[in-house]
Amino acid sequence: MSEADGLSVLDRPNSYIGKSVPRPNLERLMQGRGLYVSDMVLPRMGHVVFLRSPHAHAKILSIDSTAAKRAPGVIAIVTGKELAEVITPWVGVLSHLKGLKSAPQHAIAIDRVCWQGEAVAAIVATSRALAEDAAELVDVQYEPLEAVTEMRTALDPATPVIHPSLGDNLAFERNFEAGSVDQAFAEADAVVEAEFVFGRHTGVTLEPRAVLADWNAGEQRLTIYQGTQAPHMVQNLAALHLGLEEAQVRIVCKDVGGSFGIKVHIYADEMATYALSKLLRRPIEFVADRVESFNTDIHARDHRCKGKIGVKNDGTITAFEIDDLTGIGPYSMYPRTSAIEANQVVNLIGGPYTSKNYRARARVVFQNKNVMCQYRAVGHPIACSVTEGLVDLAAMKIGIDPVEIRRRNLISDDAYPCAAPSGLRFELLSHHASLNKVLEMMDYDGLRAEQAALRANNIHRGLGIASFIEVTNPSAAFYGVGGAKISSQDGVAVRMDATGSIICQTSITEQGQGSEALTAQIVASVLGVSMERVRVILGDTDNTPYGGGTWASRGAGIGGEAALQAAKILRNNILQVASVILQSQPSELDIGNNAVINASDGAPRIELKDLARIVYFRPDTLPPGIQPELMATRHFVPREYPFAFTNGVQACWLEVDTDTGFIKLLKHWVVEDCGTIINPQLVDEQIRGGVVQGLGAALFEKCIYDERGQLTNANMADYLVPMSGEMPDIDVGHVVSRTAETELGAKGAGEAGTAGAAAAVANAVNDALCPFGAIITEIPLTPQVVLTALGKI
Amino acid sequence: MNGQVAISLEVNGERVEAQVAPRLNLADFLREHLALTGTHVGCEHGVCGACTVRVNGDIVRSCLMLAVQAQDASVETIEGLSDSGEIADLQAAFRERNALQCGFCTPGMLMAAQDLLKHEALPNRDRIREHLSGNYCRCTGYQAIVDAVESTAKARRAP
């Protein structure tokens, strides 16, 4: 792995690895000169507005668009049946999730709507406002059907089956058992059970989903401008369902106003927009408004999970058991499916701990609500909240400190490699080092003393701890093995141009995480050039290698390794040419400060720009047979471990007002271990942003449906998100356990913050309410939930 | 309602004459008529703050104001504040502190932050958080933004 000179490619002089260099793409965003999809305008562009069902479940009896077609500016009004001539339906299943079933979903509903917000007609006009005017004139007659909204009764015989062809409302069930569970519970000195309830919430990207599809009938080519996390996935599916070759579809992804997993799926209205462009032979733009975002962006985390833990009096955890139920809406989402979240919960429960006795059941049911699917930290917040909630309850039951029970049960830092109770393999984690570090950062004993002193004054502060694991760098085990055409490998092409500048094309994408920055840092470090010389191109299927994109905390670990390997090849190629020009040996040369230098004393030999000038303009001066190759491409996919697990711990310090039920967050700490840290500032900001998303789920965020399946808070005034006033400062620390699977050694960091935040908050609230004997296992922890638990309302 | 109304206003120091529908809001006017797309539309009901612009010196939500209400007004957008150099130090602080990720909230956030810094010499972190509490950011968790505003305030105060 190491270089001939003994230095790793990452430890070279002037390396950017481990440095907090600013991202190169910030200036345009700060000046308001970014390019988001909704900023784009093409000649003859039509705007589409979708007329959406007001019913959660209804037959469509008729659609009369006669009056609407006469409205000013209207280009076309298209129903589901008409659009089905252009685009085929899909079924969101994966073969490795055995038994997962779903029904065919159309771009626009045909005959029947299955959730409030499903599109029933597309209105295309010369402006969005005129399309909205015309939409009001479309007369749709519905026959309302009974809506299945309660997941706890979705499987009852008396409940209507949403898709009769499927036989029942069960989309997926997984049962898992390891070790001797019954015996372990029998041998426990105490067994604690609780039901954990999670509010259905959503991503609320500040930029709504937006698509601009441009079918050029002359070229027979469809260009789709879309803020997607996975351009090649969109290319594949748009081609498949429109009956095109992949080469006929180009995906261009410019600036993206937030994604968080919301923009990694294929939505029916997006498919409809592609199809409308083909049908109407002109560019069509769809920009969701905020009400549509709440009603159609995927929701997540609508789980009720019964949990059980066995513990001995010495603090040893003997077993975990869960029974998880989740409602996913009427369809399994395409193409990643809506069974992954429950599957992840089963995989991750008990993950930080040594106990190997584990039983799990997860059931995924259909409902007449908006679809649920993967959102940042898929399944992790559920698994972490259940596991860490149970661990605290067990500690409380046997009367030991929450830190102590973790010390006694967390997997030892020298026990790796080993496996989770569910069988997933851990290469190298650092639970104890992380716990020690966070206790030091927060002054645990000091806070406990403060807590005790304030209780005497009727001020109730609580301290919550949550250890967690995070799935990152997923291999083909995530989707590829199940038949989804979602690449798990990424590619990077690096070339030196005629002025000595470096151009780097990567298949990972940028939504603000810093993909562009970390790619430039790696390439510049390996090559020995300054970062300003490196230009990164991403988000264009015509102009980047084929790859997965940016999701599941994979960009740095997988795309970063591909960049490293490509840059190494280019470096060697440059040194080969330099050795010819300088009549030296490649091993005697190196690159530093944008020049070829002596490996021995660092003396400059030839500027890269001069070398490039010779290669491109005076190749005649090179000896015969020398053909320089100043472009290199490499791809990478993890093969040894299906996932590179990371770990960490979060701690929360808060105050509960027992009269009002309000919770004030005072401070939050995170220690995480993502292996090699390419850019400390970017990692810390991923953690902080992720934590705040988790804090939103813990305290505020919930999609509130009524019993008829109506979403009652589909706007930003009623659906509460974290704002700056309520959020605490967050201290972030690190432990570094590199993955040996790559030369880079980096694991992901995008979801760690979200994974454990809610668990830390809930444990802190229960810690604060300890004197009242109140235990809460439900989020969001609204004042109503708190006061109810205190018996005050 | 569909008749066009003539308006005359100043945008980033330039005189603008336009014919607009009375129902057109200021955000859509700036974006669609003037192609000043730095003013972002996030919620269209005055909650998220992404469309914050300055009208006659005060920050407003341009999605809650009609273009016709800007008759004779002086409107300043993020493009104007950037080009004049008025917030160059604040932008530099945002860059140094990585106080933006996706950047969609950033123009509105900079507008709101500059408004605070113009009115208060040395706001503390709580005041900064309070003043920015009408601007939604899903990416950063706000701390980096508060840091950047705080350091800009201190730097401006320094002799």
Are A88 and A234 part of one and the same domain? yes
Domain that holds residue A714: 379-472+643-789
Q: Two tokens at A327?
A: 């409602």
Are A528 and A594 part of one and the same domain? yes
Are B146 and B96 part of one and the same domain? yes
Residue A12: per-residue pLDDT: 82
Are A86 and A141 part of one and the same domain? yes
Rounded Cα distance between A732 and A438, Å, is: 9
Are A710 and A632 part of one and the same domain? no
Q: Is B82 inside a domain boundary?
A: no
Are B9 and B73 part of one and the same domain? yes
Q: DSSP class of residue A393?
A: H
Q: Is B16 inside a domain boundary?
A: yes
Are A277 and A395 part of one and the same domain? no
Q: Is A325 inside a domain boundary?
A: no
User: What's this model's pTM, rounded to 2 decimal places?
Assistant: 0.97
Which of B16, B48, B77 represents a domain boundary (last residue)? B77
- Would you say residue A94 has pLDDT above 70? yes
Rounded Cα distance between A19 and A313, Å, is: 47
Q: What is the CATH number of the domain that holds B16?
A: 3.10.20.30
Cβ pair B37:A32 closer than 8 A: yes
Q: Is B112 inside a domain boundary?
A: yes
- Would you say residue B1 has pLDDT above 70? no
Are B73 and B117 part of one and the same domain? no
Cβ pair B100:A512 closer than 8 A: yes
- Would you say residue A5 has pLDDT above 80? no
ipTM of the complex: 0.98
Domain that holds residue B128: 87-157
Are B144 and B100 part of one and the same domain? yes
A729 alpha carbon, distance to own chain's centre: 23
Are B9 and B42 part of one and the same domain? yes
Q: What is the CATH number of the domain that holds A572?
A: 3.30.365.10
Which long-range contacts does B56-64 make (Cβ < 8 Å, 24+ apart)?
Answer: B58/B115, B59/B111, B59/B112, B59/B115, B60/B26, B62/B25, B62/B26, B62/B27, B62/B30, B63/B25, B63/B26, B63/B27, B64/B25
Are A550 and A660 part of one and the same domain? no
Residue A11: per-residue pLDDT: 81
Q: Distance from B32 to chain A by nearest Cα, in Å?
A: 9
Are B62 and B106 part of one and the same domain? no
Are B11 and B62 part of one and the same domain? yes
Q: Two tokens at A736?
A: 């570094």
Most A CBs within 10 Å: which of B25, B82, B94, B102, as the mutation test of the A interface? B102
CB contact at 8 A, A741 and A427:
yes
Are A121 and A212 part of one and the same domain? yes
Are B61 and B120 part of one and the same domain? no
Rounded Cα distance between A653 and A630, Å, is: 54
Residue A622: per-residue pLDDT: 96
A720, β-bridge pairs: none
A419, β-bridge pairs: A425
Q: Is A351 inside a domain boundary?
A: no
Which of B59, B77, B95 represents a domain boundary (last residue)? B77
**Per-residue model confidence as pLDDT tens digits over B61-106:** 999 999 999 999 999 999 999 999 999 999 999 999 999 999 999 9
Rounded Cα distance between A186 and A237, Å, is: 51
Q: Which of A591, A620, A628 is nearest to A608 (CA)?
A: A591
**Per-residue model confidence as pLDDT tens digits over A309-334:** 999 999 999 999 999 999 999 999 99
CA nearest to A254 within chain B: B102
> How many residues are recorded in chain B?
159
Number of independent structural domains in chain B: 2
Q: Is A501 inside a domain boundary?
A: yes
Are B57 and B120 part of one and the same domain? no
Residue A7: per-residue pLDDT: 57
Using CB atoms and an 8 Å cut-off, which of residues 601-660 of chain A contact chain B? none
Are A523 and A620 part of one and the same domain? yes
Contacts of B137 in chain A (CB under 8 A): 206, 724
CA nearest to A732 within chain B: B143
Rounded Cα distance between A720 and B131, Å, is: 18
**Per-residue model confidence as pLDDT tens digits over A222-256:** 999 999 999 999 999 999 999 999 999 999 999 99
Q: Is B67 inside a domain boundary?
A: yes
Rounded Cα distance between A313 and A376, Å, is: 37
Helix/strand number for chain B, H first, E second: 6, 5
Q: Is A556 inside a domain boundary?
A: yes
Contacts of A513 in chain B (CB under 8 A): 101
Rounded Cα distance between A267 and A213, Å, is: 14
Q: What does residue B115 show for φ and ψ, rounded to 5 degrees?
A: -60, -45
Q: Is B9 inside a domain boundary?
A: yes
Query: Any residues with CB less than 8 A from the CB of A235 and at least 6 apart, and which?
Result: A224, A246, A249, A250, A251, A541
Are B101 and B153 part of one and the same domain? yes
CB contact at 8 A, A227 and A200:
no
- Would you say residue A6 has pLDDT above 80? no
Q: Is A771 inside a domain boundary?
A: yes
Q: Is B17 inside a domain boundary?
A: yes
> SS in 3 state form for A109-121?
CCCEECCCCCEEE
Q: Is A281 at the interface with chain B, CB within 8 A?
A: no
Q: Is A676 inside a domain boundary?
A: yes
Are B100 and B66 part of one and the same domain? no
Are A398 and A508 part of one and the same domain? no
Mean per-residue pLDDT of chain A = 97
Number of independent structural domains in chain A: 3
- The CB-side HSE value for A147 (13 A sphere, CA atoms) comes to 24
- Would you say residue A1 has pLDDT above 80? no
Mean per-residue pLDDT of chain B = 97
Cβ pair A717:B101 closer than 8 A: no
Contacts of A23 in chain B (CB under 8 A): 95, 98
Q: Which of A716, A721, A662, A713 is nearest to A689 (CA)?
A: A721
Q: Distance from B17 to chain A by nearest Cα, in Å?
A: 21
Cβ pair A689:B91 closer than 8 A: no
Q: Could you tell me what percent of chain A has a pLDDT over 90?
A: 98
Rounded Cα distance between A25 and A34, Å, is: 9
Residue A502: per-residue pLDDT: 98
- Would you say residue B158 has pLDDT above 90? no
Q: Is B54 inside a domain boundary?
A: yes
Given CA atoms A764, A770, A772, A778 in this order, what sign does their dihedral have? Answer: positive
Q: How far apart are the two ends of chain A, measured CA to CA in Å? A: 64
Most A CBs within 10 Å: which of B41, B48, B101, as the mutation test of the A interface? B101
Q: Is B101 inside a domain boundary?
A: yes
Sheet holding A190-198, edge to edge: A170-178, A358-365, A317-327, A303-311, A190-198, A778-779
CB contact at 8 A, A112 and A58:
yes
Which of B58, B77, B96 represents a domain boundary (last residue)? B77
Q: What average pLDDT score do residues A542-548 get?
A: 97
CB contact at 8 A, A261 and A42:
no
Q: Closest partner residue to B141 among A512, A689, A725, by Cβ?
A: A689
Are A495 and A585 part of one and the same domain? yes
Are A659 and A700 part of one and the same domain? yes
Are A737 and A662 part of one and the same domain? yes
Are B68 and B114 part of one and the same domain? no
Cβ pair B104:A129 closer than 8 A: no
Q: What is the CATH number of the domain that holds B101?
A: 1.10.150.120
- The CB-side HSE value for A767 (13 A sphere, CA atoms) comes to 30
What string of DSSP letters covers A142-196? EEE------GGGTTSTTSPPSSGGGSSSEEEEEEEEES-HHHHHHH-SEEEEEEE
Using CB atoms and an 8 Å cut-off, which of residues 735-764 of chain A contact chain B? 753
Residue B2: per-residue pLDDT: 61
Q: What is the CATH number of the domain that holds A57?
A: 3.90.1170.50
Q: Which of A309, A338, A302, A339 is nearest to A421 (CA)?
A: A309
